[in-house]
Every structure is written in C-alpha cells, then in structure tokens.
Amino acid sequence: MDYLRVSDGAHGGALRSQCNELGRHVLTAAQGTAFIAMWQSPRDSGAIQLPAGPRWQGALSAIISMVDRLIESSAGADTSIHLDSVQLVPIFLGLVDRDERLHAVAVRRRSVLTSITVIIVAPHGRALDQLEALAHLAADRLLDIVGAPDRIRQHTFWRRRALTANYRVARETADRVQAGVERRRLDEAVAAASRLRPHNRFAGLGPIAARFGPFAEWLVAIAGDNGLRIAAASAALTVLPPLDGESAIADGFRRKSTILRVRDRSRSAVYHEDRLFARFAAYVCVPFECGAFALAASEPIEPSAVAALEALALRVDPLVRAWLAEAAAERLRRLVHNLGLRIFGAIDLERARIARDLHDHQAQLLSASRIAIEAGPEQARGVFKQLENDLRLRVRELRPATLGRSTLEQALRTELRRLAGATITGRLTGAEWMGALSRPVQQLCFQISREALSNVLRHSEATHVEIGVEKRGGHALLTICDNGKGMIGESSRRNGIGLGGLGERLALMGGKLRIDSRPGSTRIIAEIPEPA
C-alpha cells in the first residue's frame, strides 16, 4: 500500500484537502511532534504525513512499518497501541533534541469497506489518555470524510427509490395519520373514563361513548350475579327496556356480537329497543365482557363509528371490571365494619354481665364468709381479706373499659387526672372533634387510650403524656404520645398484648394501629373508620 499520496480519483483533491486540514488541527491540539493518517477504501486510498518533506519521510515510514507489524495480527474492528520512548528515539534521532522523550498512540478503525489508521507522536509530557482520545476522534472524523462519497451515492439511490414510490408512501402515510388520530381519540376517551368519580362512573361513560358518532341517546348495561342491569342512561330516556330475551342489548351481550338496527317502518318491532329508539334513524348495541353499550342516532351510523365503539368497548372493559371490583370491596368493607362494631359491642356487654355476676355472687359469698369467722383467728381473717381483694381485682380486669354515661372528653380527662396522681402531667387536644364521633368510635378511642395510658403508668417512666383526637376524611385519628423510655426488649412484647388485641379489632374494622417507639418517645396512632 502506498501511504505517501492520495489517489487522483473523482474525489481525490477534495479528500486530500480535508485530510490535510484535519492533520493540522490534530497536531496543534496534541502539541505533537508528528501526525500520520492512512486510509483504504474501495474508491480511495492514501495517507498524509505531518511534518512533510524528505527529512521526515524516513522516520515516519519507519513508524508506519512498526505500527503495521504490531497491529497486523489484530482481528478486531478497533485496535489501539502505544509506543514508548525506547521504540521512538532511534527513529527520530537527529530530528528532535537528544534529551527529548517521546511517546506515540496508534489507532486503527475498520468498517465494512474502509480501514483507517491514525498515529500521533508527542513529547512525553502530554498525557497518554488524551493522545488516545484525540486519535480516536481523528479516526472517526477521517472515517466520515472517506465515506462521504459513498453516503452521497446512497442518498441519491434512495431518493430515486422514494420518488418512484411517492404515491404509495403518501397513501400509507395518510392511512397512518388517520389511524393515529383514531388511536389518540381512543386513548383520550379511555383516559377520561379512568378519571371518572366513583359516584357517576357509568353515567359519565355513556357520553364518552357517544362522542364516537352522531349519537343522541345512550344506555350502559352492566353484568351482575343476576344478569344484565342498566347502570346508567341519558336523561331523555325515562322509560328503560327490560333486559330479557327480547332485548337487543341482552341478545348482543349473550352472543358477544354487535347488533346494528336501522329504522324500517314497514316491519314490526323485534326488540324492546326498536320501540324505545323508534324516533331515531338507527341504533347500535356493542357488547363487552362485563356489559354493553346501546346508542341511538338521528342519522345513519357509519361502519367507522361502529368499529370505534367496538375498540372503545374492548379498552374500557378492564376499567369496568375494576370499578365493579371496587364497588364490591367497598360493600364488603362496610359490612365488615358494621359487623365488627356489632360483634365487639356484644362482647363488651357480655363481659360486663359476667363481671356483675361475679361481683353479685362470688364477692358476696366471700364477704359473708369473712363475717362468719370474724371471731376466729386473726390469720384466717387476713387470708379471707386477701381472697376478697384478689377477687375484686379480677372483676375489675374482666370488666371492659366503657364510657358509660360519660363523654369521650370527660373519660379521657378522668384518665389524665389519674396519671396526675402519679406525677405524670397530661394534655388533651381536639376536644371539639370528640362529640362529632359516633358512640362506638368514641368507645374504641377510650379503650385504646386507657390501654396505652396503663402502659405509660406501669412501664414507661414518663413525666408527660399528650392525647389528641381529630377527624380526617373518613377516619377518626387518635394519637397518644409520651416522653418515657420507650417499648424495648421483652417489655414491649409483654406490654403489647392489650394493644395487640385492639390492633386486631381495628384491622377488622378497616382501620390500623401504628406504634412508633424509641428511647425518650413513644407515639401510638390509631386510624378508625368513621364515615363523614
């Protein structure tokens, strides 16, 4: 290969000029001693050498030969090597100062048809990684310069091909644009449906479907356990059809096929909807997996409108499924909430009854026994006194914490006064919310507070407690904070039995209990469902 000239092909002069300019810029940027660029392609091959002239030609030819030997065996598309001062000093002897140390970077870049080699020689003070990056940039630029004629020819070829196929491309483009418009309309409709509020979702779904054609009236039917039911209808439809075997909506839903009916006064009605939409030119029933649309228009319904409705039905079906699941979950949540209130209310009443029985019978029996042996030994009286105290303690433990006739505020202030007797100060906030809470929720707030305050009194070593109540959305929020030592180690597990049971009760009601405890602070937060 001749590295010392540029071929005189069709682009030889322009190529030589661009490569020389590239070499000068690279040599300046590198503050280098020498620059060599070589290329070979199907149409052009050659090289540039800087500095040029007979004095440098021998040294640069020697470097080219050395680089060829070192990277000839490499099969990769990109190869780079480094030359040190030991390799270069003998070559540049007499061309640079004797004491000057040199190093060089060589990069070879190969594409499908073109091979590019760039060599930069610079003083040793220039960073080697910078030289290598500069050599890669020069190789990339040279690859662009050498490949430009081929790119021009390819551009011309494909331009001619594009011109010959212009009509076909234009037609396909128009079809794609129209399809894109339809997709955007469909996406916007589905997005609008997804933003509908729970209380008017089906009433909002009908107008969204009506936008896909000249539709004036609409029905939305939903499948349930007992078959189809009409979930919503436009305001003008005051009389709704029965969804039985003579209904077009029910027939289309059963067969999973669209029914398009055009008004024909010469024939008798087949479906209920024929009479319902008798004043319209046509109507269409479009089913989906868990329901169906029925829409009537005063003018003929185009096939494109029917196709758009079918696409919409396919897209909104998962949304409708989710809406139905949410509604079912909400019904179950309310049912569990009400059952939880009733069950635990009954449990508390039963525990109170048991406590009264123990007090009325067993406590009276022990008191009578004490009186009977009052004249006996002192030790016997002490034993019976202890039995009586133990029984009364068990009765108090069995009796549930109830508000009785007190308000929640009164009961909580009583508990705080009990703490004050143990030198624990207390503060109550949110009293204005307490009266607005339902009685079962007030009762539960009191039970949680009493259990938490009992833990504070027995185990926390706190000096201050705060209780706060507020109503936020559909929940009552109860917060109890203390400045004690926190629930740690075995103490937290032992003392958490009462709070754990209350947490389970809250979970059944759809609420939750959170405990954030660390040395110096314990915060208990109870969220209790309380409809607005």
What does the pLDDT look like over 15-72, one tens digit per residue?
778 878 888 888 888 888 888 888 887 777 788 888 877 888 888 888 888 888 888 7
Q: Is the dihedral of CA 196, 202, 204, 206 positive or negative?
A: positive
DSSP-derived 3-state class of residue 429? strand
Residue 10's pLDDT is 43
Domains of the chain are 12-161 (3.30.450.40), 194-320 (3.30.450.40), 403-529 (3.30.565.10)
The Cα 42–Cα 74 span in angstroms is 21
The Cα 248–Cα 242 span in angstroms is 10
Q: Is the dihedral of CA 83, 86, 87, 88 positive or negative?
A: positive
The Cα 15–Cα 78 span in angstroms is 23
The Cα 14–Cα 22 span in angstroms is 12
DSSP-derived 3-state class of residue 20? helix
CA distances from 5 to 21, 39, 62, 107 (A): 15, 11, 16, 20
Count H helices and E strands in the chain, helices first.
15, 15
The structure tokens 């309310």 sit at 334
The Cα 369–Cα 366 span in angstroms is 5
Q: Residues of 86-121 as b/e, b for ≥16 C-beta within 10 angstroms?
A: eebeebbeeebeeeeebbbbbbbbbeeebbbbbbbb
First to last CA, the chain: 90
Residue 176's pLDDT is 76
Q: How many CA atoms within 13 Å lie on the side-chain side of 462?
A: 31
The Cα 316–Cα 423 span in angstroms is 64
Q: Is the peptide bond before 287 cis (omega within 30 degrees of 0)?
A: no
The yes-or-no verdict on residue 353 having pLDDT over 70 is no
CA neighbor of 210 nearest in space, from 279, 277, 296: 296
The Cα 110–Cα 143 span in angstroms is 9
CA neighbor of 495 nearest in space, from 465, 528, 451: 451
Query: Does residue 520 contact residue 483 with C-beta atoms inside 8 Å?
Result: yes
Mean pLDDT score across all residues of the chain: 80
Query: Beta-carbon neighbour count of residue 19 at 10 Å?
Result: 23
Tell me which H or E stretch contains 119: strand 115-123
- Amino acid letter for position 388: E
Query: Does residue 23 contact residue 30 with C-beta atoms inside 8 Å?
Result: no
pTM of the model as a whole: 0.40
Residue 257's pLDDT is 92
| Percentage of the chain modeled with pLDDT above 70 | 80
Residue 8's pLDDT is 41
Ranked by mean pLDDT, the top range of 53-62, 201-210, 264-273 is 201-210
Label residue 465 by pLDDT band (50, 70, 90): very high
DSSP-derived 3-state class of residue 221? strand
Residue 344's pLDDT is 72
The Cα 340–Cα 351 span in angstroms is 16
Label residue 386 by pLDDT band (50, 70, 90): low
Residue partners of 455: CB distance under 8 A and separation at least 6 = 487, 495, 498, 499
Residue 435's pLDDT is 85
Query: Beta-carbon neighbour count of residue 58 at 10 Å?
Result: 10
Return the bridge partners of 517, or none: 522
More confident residue, 206 or 344: 206
Query: Does residue 80 contact residue 57 with C-beta atoms inside 8 Å?
Result: no
The Cα 65–Cα 152 span in angstroms is 34
Mean pLDDT over 278-297 rounds to 92
In the numeric block, which tokens belong to residue 29?
């940027």
Tell me which H or E stretch contains 254: helix 248-255
The yes-or-no verdict on residue 218 having pLDDT over 90 is yes
Q: Locate the DSSP E strands across 149-209.
A: none
The Cα 41–Cα 15 span in angstroms is 12
In the numeric block, which tokens belong to residue 25?
């810029």
